[in-house]
């Protein structure tokens, strides 16, 4: 088991929490309003200054007591969100976390939490420190490279690859692969993403069924005057 350098953890935690805070502020900004890049840069700089305050004056110190470190994937997805808002001029903003990525994150998080509570005695979290975790990181990186070779290298794939690189070369954030790919905040984000996708699917299905149900009534209303004229 190889743990990261304590100084690297210190710098990583403050950088990652700054990205998370900036992404949260941007999420509160209405999507229809254009966010200039200068304003976005000023926001990110302010978040960095805030997180790098010494000792307990830094919000990162208090956040670390509650959540430890943000996962590298969460930090990468927050960076994707900031990038999306910086390049949008008009039109809808693309989601930083897609349901396709949220689904496995939600399932893995559920399994890890069940394991932590003792409901599933598998020791899956501790497996993230072993050689199997290194092999899993290599396989995931290979999958990202395959997507890039097929021209499907999306920003979310870049965030995943960056998280794997931080784990492989610097063992950040904690030396555990699961901590590099998942944390409570990201798990909650994945659940909300799946819930929103499910609600949209249900509403879309109802909207598609509504016109089909009204067609017989419309047809009857359209043919009634014709029959009366024939009479």
Per-residue pLDDT for 27 more than 50? yes
Best CA proximity match to 101, nearest among 24, 194, 201, 196: 194
pLDDT digits (tens, 9 = 90+) for 126-158: 999 988 899 999 999 999 989 888 888 889 999
Q: Where along the chain do its domains lie?
A: 6-213
| pTM attached to this predicted model | 0.87
pLDDT digits (tens, 9 = 90+) for 82-127: 988 877 554 556 788 999 999 999 999 999 999 988 888 788 999 9
Per-residue pLDDT for 21 more than 50? yes
d(CA 105, CA 181): 8
Query: Which pLDDT value is given to residue 229?
Result: 42
């Amino acid at each position: 088991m190889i743990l990261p350098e304590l100084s690297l953890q210190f710098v990583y935690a403050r950088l990652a929490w700054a990205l998370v805070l900036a992404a949260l502020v941007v999420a509160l900004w209405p999507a229809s309003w254009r966010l200039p890049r200068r304003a976005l840069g000023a926001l990110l700089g302010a978040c960095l200054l805030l997180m790098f305050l010494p000792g307990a004056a830094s919000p990162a110190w208090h956040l670390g007591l509650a959540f430890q470190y943000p996962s590298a994937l969460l930090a990468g997805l927050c960076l994707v969100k900031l990038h999306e808002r910086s390049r949008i001029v008009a039109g809808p903003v693309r989601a930083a976390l897609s349901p396709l990525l949220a689904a496995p994150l939600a399932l893995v998080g559920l399994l890890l939490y069940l394991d932590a509570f003792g409901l599933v005695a598998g020791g899956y979290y501790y497996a993230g420190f072993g050689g199997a975790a290194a092999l899993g990181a290599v396989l995931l990186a290979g999958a990202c490279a395959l997507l890039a070779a097929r021209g499907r290298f999306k920003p979310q794939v870049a965030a995943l690859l960056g998280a794997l690189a931080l784990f492989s070369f610097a063992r950040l954030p904690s030396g555990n692969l699961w901590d590099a790919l998942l944390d409570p905040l990201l798990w909650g984000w994945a659940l909300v993403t799946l819930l929103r996708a499910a609600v949209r699917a249900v509403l879309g299905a109802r909207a598609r069924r509504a016109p089909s149900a009204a067609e017989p009534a419309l047809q009857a209303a359209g043919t009634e005057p014709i029959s009366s004229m024939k009479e």
